Amino acid sequence: MTYIHDTIEELKQTSPAQTEFYQAVEDVLESLEPLLEQNPHYREQAILARIVEPERQIMFRVPWMDDEGRVQVNKGYRIEFNSALGPYKGGLRFHPSVNGSIIKFLGFEQIFKNALTGLPIGGGKGGANFNPKGKSNAEIMRFCQSFMSELFRHIGPTTDVPAGDIGVGTRELGYLFGQYKRLANQFDGVLTGKGLAWGGSFVRKEATGYGCVYFANYMLADRDHDLKDKRCAVSGSGNVAIYTMEKLYELGAKPVTCSDSSGTIYHDQGIDLDLVKQLKEQRNERLEKYLETHSSATYTPREDYPSDGHQVWRYEVDLAFPCATQNEVTRADIECLLENGCIAITEGANMPLTESAFDTVQESQIAYGPGKASNAGGVATSQLEMAQNASMQRWTFEQVDERLQQVMKTIYKDISRTAEEFGKPGQLVLGANIAGFRKVADAMLEQGLV
């Protein structure tokens, strides 16, 4: 459709050199053709041109001092993308690869993901090109304090509520929250993923991984499969990967791989999750150390990966769960998964498939849970944390987990129904993009020229 094509071309002119952002925009817009044909008012009201433009983009200097007394400077970002459905909501990423394009793609995805939860949250994302690897605890604290010294004036419990993402966990959120409190003189729900003793919610830590597996379970059930005894490839070994593996074990499946940015572990008898938690959550070690306890496992260092992809996807598995980062699955990886009999891919990470991997999946018959639906459990539970903070209540682990399961079921049903409505049953990408877009676009139209 030329309207969609023209919007994407215009975006490339006005926001140059933002490859990941174009990739995320193309994924959403290219699904919208049947909806736009049915509803000409979206075009008349220039809704596409409005929705791809963030409401506000904040970029700032983050100066801090390292342990040697040297001054360091990083770039900080917060993209407040869309507030049609509620306050901006989305994580903060600290990773050396962070730039305007990465934060914009993440913020754009977040708009539709948050809409799919059915909860009143808009979309935003932020972060810095800061590399936490090898930094001391004191350096991390000083960086977080400097980052928040600027960010605090832009956020608030009903304005913009950041959370964690890659490189930002409970420790970093603690330092960020401490600095916010000193500057704003407020103890409120301005960040989510907080420690349980200072306003955090049960299940937030586990929510993205658990939610992803709940989603996979609903998707498989609809295709007369279940998780029992399924061999699973999981990538990453951070927050999302660990709690994906935990729930897979609980529901009878067996994760046989995990990875970090240095290499991949394959363990045929099943990944030793207690050991991975020790290595990653407590000791901050590389996965290679896994071999010191399990010599029967295989470790492949990154430099020995196949030239066209990633080792983690090159084993015989039934299910795949990319849980590390964007563009971590190539076309060759997908071909290998398909040849090895994999029946479903469920995304824990945001946009983990390269464009050609995505096209290959779309052409295949494999069940595919797109991240904006399947990893929405994290942000949904963040909203439950906001609700608990605002009402000064604390719900039990079981109550929050029950709500999380309900949200994931509703998302699955909503996107499946939408795919059917547009004559493409089972096409969850189309279902997720149309269902998410429609909620946001309709709210924007009702709010006037915003």
Ligand X SMILES: O=C(O)CCC(=O)C(=O)O
Ligand Y SMILES: NC(=O)C1=CN([C@@H]2O[C@H](COP(=O)(O)OP(=O)(O)OC[C@H]3O[C@@H](n4cnc5c(N)ncnc54)[C@H](O)[C@@H]3O)[C@@H](O)[C@H]2O)C=CC1
Q: Kindly list the catalytic residues.
A: 125
In whole angstroms, what is the distance from residue 50 CA to residue 7 CA?
A: 10
**Using rule CB under 6 A, residue 206 touches ligand Y:** no
Q: How far is the CB of 350 from ligand X (least distance, A)?
A: 5
Is 186 annotated to bind ligand? no
Is 350 annotated to bind ligand? no
**Using rule CB under 6 A, residue 200 touches ligand Y:** no
**Element spanning 333, H or E:** helix 331-339
Quick one: what does residue 192 bind among ligand X, ligand Y, none, with the CB cut-off 5 to 8 Å set by partner type? ligand X
In whole angstroms, what is the distance from residue 362 CA to residue 358 CA?
A: 6
Please pick, from the candidates 78, 89, 247, 310, the single residue that binds ligand X as defined by CB under 6 A: 89
Instruction: Identify the three-state secondary structure at position 301.
Output: strand
293 phi and psi, to 5 degrees?
Answer: -100, -35
- Cα 401 from chain centroid (whole Å): 19
In whole angstroms, what is the distance from residue 202 CA to residue 399 CA?
A: 9
In whole angstroms, what is the distance from residue 364 CA to residue 402 CA?
A: 34
CB 241, CB 235: distance < 8 Å:
yes
Q: Which amino acid is at 59?
A: M
Please pick, from the candidates 18, 74, 170, 208, the single residue that binds ligand Y as defined by CB under 6 A: 208
Closer to ligand Y at the Cβ: 113 or 439?
113
Q: Which residue's Cβ lies closest to ligand Y?
A: 238
Is 382 annotated to bind ligand? yes
Quick one: what does residue 90 bind among ligand Y, ligand X, none, with the CB cut-off 5 to 8 Å set by partner type? ligand X
Residues in 377-436 at the binding interface with ligand Y, rule: CB under 6 A:
378
Quick one: what does residue 237 bind among ligand Y, ligand X, none, with the CB cut-off 5 to 8 Å set by partner type? ligand Y
> What is the Cβ-side half-sphere exposure of residue 217, based on CA atoms within 13 angstroms?
21
State the Rg of the chain over Cα.
21
Residues in 378-407 at the binding interface with ligand X, rule: CB under 6 A:
378-379, 382
Q: How far is the CB of 142 from ligand Y (least distance, A)?
A: 20
Q: Output the CA–CA distances (angstroms, integers) from residue 215 to 406, 409, 427, in the order listed.
A: 10, 7, 15
Pick the piece of the chain touching ligand Y (CB under 6 A) from 35-43, 78-86, 342-350, 436-444.
342-350
> How many DSSP H helices and E strands does the chain contain?
18, 12
Binding residue numbers for substrate? 89, 110, 113, 164, 382
Residues near ligand Y, by CB under 6 A: 164-167, 208, 236-241, 260-261, 323-325, 328, 348-350, 375, 378
Residues near ligand X, by CB under 6 A: 89-91, 110, 113, 163, 165, 192, 350, 378-379, 382
Binding residue numbers? 89, 110, 113, 164, 208, 239, 382
